[in-house]
Amino acid sequence: APTTDHASSSSQQQQLDNASSSSPPLPARAYLSTDVLQESPRRHAIARCDTSRSTPRISETETEATLAQPSAAVQGGTAPLVQALKSTAAQDVSCFHFPGHNRGKAAPSLLSNLIGAETFSHDLPELPELDDLFYPKGVILDAQNRAAELFGSSKTWFLINGSTCGIQAAVMATCSPGDYIIIPRNCHISVISALVLSGAVPKYIVPEYNSAWDIAGGVTPSQVDKALKELEKDGKKVGAVLVTSPTYHGICSDVQGIVDVCRPLHIPVIVDEAHGAHFRFHHSFPSTAIEQGADLAVQSTHKVLSSLTQSSMLHMARGLVDADKVSQCLQLLQSSSPSYLLLSSLDAARAQLSENSKSFDEPVAMALETKDQLMVIPGLSVLDLSCFASDFPAIDPLRVTLSASDLHLSGYEADDILEEHQIVSELVGTQAVTFAVNLGTSRQDVQKLVQCAKHLSDKYMSANESRFSKHNYVRSPLDKFSVKLSPREAFFTKKRRVCIEDSLGEICGELICPYPPGIPVLIPGEVVTQDSLSYLINVRDQGMTISGAADGELNSIMVCNL
């Protein structure tokens, strides 16, 4: 799991000061530096050349003229919420309000010594000068408007319950109980919780699956079109289509093609873009969901961008979705005591991007160079679009997914060896390990990764020469499934616990999900199949964490007592 560096109180104050500086920002999509990767051999695989239907990209010939006239909405480059938080914390007042640490005066020393006393002084409640997250009229509204301008949306909401609450709100705002929603079977766990909350019924699309990598890809417009026609034939009402793009491994779906299928039917398209918050800020990145015409897109600003963990954004394009309904749903789902540290970190992350047009030049260059170097190491492979037969339009260049299966090492084994050399990955699977390059990645970091990968190859290539065997291909746990109850029906049905080996043929009563990546293998209401059972026992025996199940050791599972 990723680690977090805790800055001293003086460096935290400096970061607040930097975030509220007044250097001029760049307008949306003015991030078109041409001095990096002009002729990358991978360019065709990672760049989307079509134009936006709702938010035009700024072409390289337009950039200079646009920079000369920044939008008034983002003019000045300040972070209004950060500045308000800083000013309020500096007040010399006697406090008779929550939280109980009283602006740090009673902060637990164990934590204040770790993260700094000033963190507590900025941990403030909903004071009048800090605005109201659910009825914003001041600095929060200003900060959200600046974010909408930069990210190319008509409206943006700040989220303090992560992208999970954004997904839940998007589904609840578009689907009534009993409506069908088309979703990929490799959707995130938050989508299933959204089905329980909304009462929407899933129509699953099974994505292409590569068994050698144990990785699922995206979904295609033709799959969505087929699902819509099947539901129409059965007389079912469709509330929305939800797409995961990019996936955790960076694989993007053709969102614009899916929008083209849905728009004539007036069906909104929701995109779980949690792993693509950075896409708008470099010319080599894929198009964003909003640029491709999506109605709602949820982004984890804390993943590749620099806000605090648990902070995200929900972006909307004008059209099919009622903004007031989205706001209403968010108020139901989010805490009534929002953290201003989380909120201000979103404002600061936006300001950081506004102030530096070349933020991602170096990370992109490093990521592509690292992939090129890893590809030539004997026994190692790097995931790219050629691993899939479907015509997926792009893959995130900042995701580096490595397989050592030719060295007869599982993803878990390879990760354990790399961790011994102080290489900490983002995601481990049965067959591969994924590394996320971001704004804080250094040259030293990627050089160390490559050197450790060479060591891995040298050691295990020679060790395995005498015992070559077939690849340990993994059967997809997503291929064959049978839905007997909706997730909501299964959630509220009485359950009983059975030994996992005895669960075959039973209706699963809980969400069973290896985590990360947070993709469910069994969803409430599905029949337990031999494929799903074998897969779960395999990952359990390899020590993978299982989320959602009442028995975290997965010796037993809850099934519906029908």
How many Cβ atoms from other residues are within 10 Å of residue 230's Cβ?
13
Q: Which residue in 502, 74, 55 sits closest to 316, CA to CA?
A: 55
Q: Which residue in 496, 544, 547 sits closest to 518, CA to CA?
A: 547
For 13, the token pair is: 């104050």
Contact between 269 and 293 (Cβ < 8 Å): yes
Contact between 352 and 24 (Cβ < 8 Å): no
User: What CATH number should be reported for the domain whose range is 482-560?
Assistant: 3.90.100.10
For 459, the token pair is: 């050691």
Fold (topology level) of 139-355:
Aspartate Aminotransferase; domain 2 (3.40.640)
Q: Which residues contact 386 (CB under 8 A, 6 or more apart)?
A: none
Q: Which residue in 371, 353, 506, 508 sits closest to 434, CA to CA?
A: 371
Domain boundaries along the sequence of the chain: 97-126, 139-355, 360-461, 482-560
Which of helix, strand or coil describes residue 503? coil
Question: Would you list the DSSP string of 397-439?
Answer: TTEEEEE-GGGT--HHHHHHHHHHTT---SEE-SSEEEEE--T
pLDDT in tens, 328-338: 999 999 999 99
Is the torsion defined by CA of 45, 47, 48, 49 positive or negative? negative
Mean pLDDT by 10 residues, the chain (562 residues): 40 44 38 34 33 38 32 56 96 94 94 94 95 96 97 98 97 98 94 96 94 93 98 97 97 98 98 98 97 98 97 95 98 96 98 93 98 97 96 97 95 94 94 96 97 95 56 60 93 95 94 75 92 85 81 92 88
User: What phi, psi does 151 have (nearest 5°)?
Assistant: -90, 0
* pTM for this model (two decimals): 0.85
In whole angstroms, what is the distance from residue 511 CA to residue 153 CA?
Answer: 33
pLDDT of residue 54: 41
Of the candidate CATH numbers 2.60.120.260, 3.20.20.70, 3.40.50.1220, 3.90.1150.10, the domain formed by 360-461 belongs to 3.90.1150.10
How many Cβ atoms from other residues are within 10 Å of residue 445's Cβ?
14
Which of helix, strand or coil describes residue 218? coil
